[in-house]
Amino acid sequence: MMGSGGMGQETNLAAAFAGGVTALEASSKTAAADSLIGAGVDAALAGQWTRVRQRLQADVGDVEYRSWLRQMVLAGCDGDEITILLPTRFLRDWVRRHYGDRLVTLWQAENAAIRRIDLRASAPAARAQASGSGFAESLASAPTQPQASGPRVAETRASETRASETRASETRASEAGAAERPPLDTSGLDKRFDFENFVVGKPNEFAYACARRVAEQPAMPGFNPLFLYGGVGLGKTHLMHAIAWDLIGRGGGRISVAYMSAEKFMYRFIAAIRSQATMEFKEQLRGADVLMIDDLQFLIGKDNTQEEFFHTFNALVDAGKQIVVSADKSPSDLSGLEDRLRTRLGCGMVADLHATTFELRLSILEAKATRAGVAVPAKVMDFLAHKITTNVRELEGALNRLIAHANLFNRPITLETTQEVLHDILKAHDRRITIEEIQRKVSEHWNIRLTDMSSARRARNVARPRQVAMYLAKQLTSRSLPEIGRKFGNRDHTTVMHAVARVAELMERDAAFAEDVELLRRMLES
């Protein structure tokens, strides 16, 4: 995770990048204007183009203009048709889809004879970008003045011709074999994390079903994006990897999948700015059939990276591509995320993974022991499932450690050896949660007075939090029902029983209420 220094680095890099481009433009207004006008364009047409660009920039704003429209080069006019060049096919398609009609309207306002705009991806616009002069200089098109001749110039032109032919050949091969593209980036995927190895239980069955549906029918309406959220070690990453492997398998290697953490997305974006390869970064991600971003909460506070992810998100959804995102909270609870991004993340399918139950933890342990081919006594399984409750990764790690110890020392797995080998883990999970601590957390969460926990007030805004506190006291402490009742104003144990049953019933019926209770549980257990 990147701290405040990383956030400052991102901001400084982006500011330096933008400042460098601005300074380059300011150094020569004439050169900047010429760089967007091809050879052979007369002065009248060039003036019209300048005004069209200025109005377009005023319409869409500086950020959007810099991202998508700045590299347009006026190539010429043929009758009622204007030809505009762009450096890549991706950029040409984007501009045509999102700004084509607006360009026609603006041109007609300048020149009533214009009826059509021909947008092309062409070598003249791409030549400066391929020359290695830098991202800012990639704005330049072919020079407007004749070049001097000579051996070095001839050699340069020959090199450019060869490069252009190579690019054209690669483009044809890409178009002809698009169906045979390999996965875009599977370096971060773990082959152990597939659907077969995912243990399904009540806390995760909905998220599992949603993941299966996306793997079977990507970009299906209502499931794009798929947003998975839950606490640490509950299976979000496992499901994302499982979706990726299933899609790759179903597509026979023809589906390109880009999977990365939010932190890696940020670092790659910063690296693209630093190396002046922003367009390559955009094209690579927008060329994926499926984009997966894990731990999205790490983008909070990274404004420039959020901006880039927002545009990537829109481009992929508009193109009918699937997006899968995970985070530790639901989109509505990710404070610090831009509203426009939060609403888009929430417009698809949002699925949460609840804290594991004893039954699910036991199933996970049994499945892992079976895969390892080791017989683990049932009482050891029960002991671990009861003791390690917050993190599936830690639960699996404890079992791995136990199995390794048994193999290395040729000793049977017993309850005694389990307590001996895992004493540090078990000690960490023996932290005592007090009823007073539960009462304080619940009071803060629902903004009531701590004294209301033991008062006789029966107003709903007080009674419901009090019932939740009783429920959590029963779940998280070893206190008996009469002991819990005494802590809540000497209430009878039957009152505590009613509160526990009522809260459990409400959690079944009300997802938002269940989420509140689970959040409190996580806070108390962390």
Q: For residue 463, what is the domain's CATH number?
A: 1.10.1750.10
| Lowest-confidence region among 15-24, 41-50, 410-419, 426-435 | 15-24
Residues 332 and 379 in one domain: no
Position 187 scores a pLDDT of 63
What 3-state DSSP class applies to 478?
A: coil
> Using alpha carbons only, how large is the chain's radius of gyration in Å?
30
Task: Give the orientation angle of helix 493-509 with respect to helix 460-476, to 10 degrees.
Answer: 100
Distance CA 447, CA 444 (A): 5
Query: What is the pLDDT confidence band of residue 125, given thresholds at 50, 70 and 90?
Result: very low
Q: How many structural domains is the chain composed of? A: 4
Which domain-ending residue is among 299, 319, 353?
A: 353
Residues 203 and 349 in one domain: yes
Q: Which of 50, 44, 35, 206 is nearest to 127 (CA)?
A: 35
pLDDT at 144 over 70: no
pLDDT at 206 over 90: yes
Alpha carbon distances (Å) from 395 to 92, 190, 245, 295, 425: 51, 19, 25, 21, 10
Residues 423 and 440 in one domain: no
Q: Which of 99, 50, 12, 225 is nearest to 4 (CA)?
A: 12
177 compared with 418, residue with greater pLDDT = 418
Question: What's the mean pLDDT when you consider all of the chain?
Answer: 78
pLDDT in tens, 413-468: 888 888 888 887 877 665 567 899 899 989 988 989 998 998 888 888 899 999 99
Distance CA 18, CA 309 (A): 18
Longest CA–CA span in the chain (Å) reads: 101
For residue 119, is it within any domain?
yes
Residues 115 and 54 in one domain: yes
Instruction: With 0.75 as the threshold, say if the pTM is over it.
Output: no
pLDDT at 135 over 50: no
| 239 Cβ neighbours under 8 A, 6+ residues apart | 198, 207, 208, 211, 228
Residues 320 and 212 in one domain: yes
Containing structural domain, residue 326: 195-353
Average pLDDT over residues 178-192: 60
For residue 159, is it within any domain?
no
pLDDT at 325 over 90: yes
Average pLDDT over residues 501-526: 85
User: What percent of the chain has a predicted confidence (pLDDT) above 90?
Assistant: 21
pLDDT in tens, 48-106: 889 999 998 888 887 678 777 888 888 888 888 899 988 777 778 778 888 888 898 89
For residue 144, is it within any domain?
no
Residues 406 and 451 in one domain: no
Q: Which of 143, 14, 125, 133 is nearest to 72 (CA)?
A: 125
Position 431 scores a pLDDT of 58
Residues 335 and 439 in one domain: no
| 481 Cβ neighbours under 8 A, 6+ residues apart | 474, 493, 496, 497
Which domain-ending residue is among 124, 139, 154?
A: 139
Q: How many other CB atoms are found less than 10 A from the CB of residue 205?
A: 14
pLDDT at 238 over 70: yes
Work out whether the CA dihedral 54, 58, 61, 62 comes out positive or negative.
positive
Residues 312 and 410 in one domain: no
441, 476 contact by CB (below 8 A)? no
Position 17 scores a pLDDT of 41
Residues 227 and 259 in one domain: yes
Q: Which amino acid is at 63?
A: V
Distance CA 96, CA 62 (A): 19
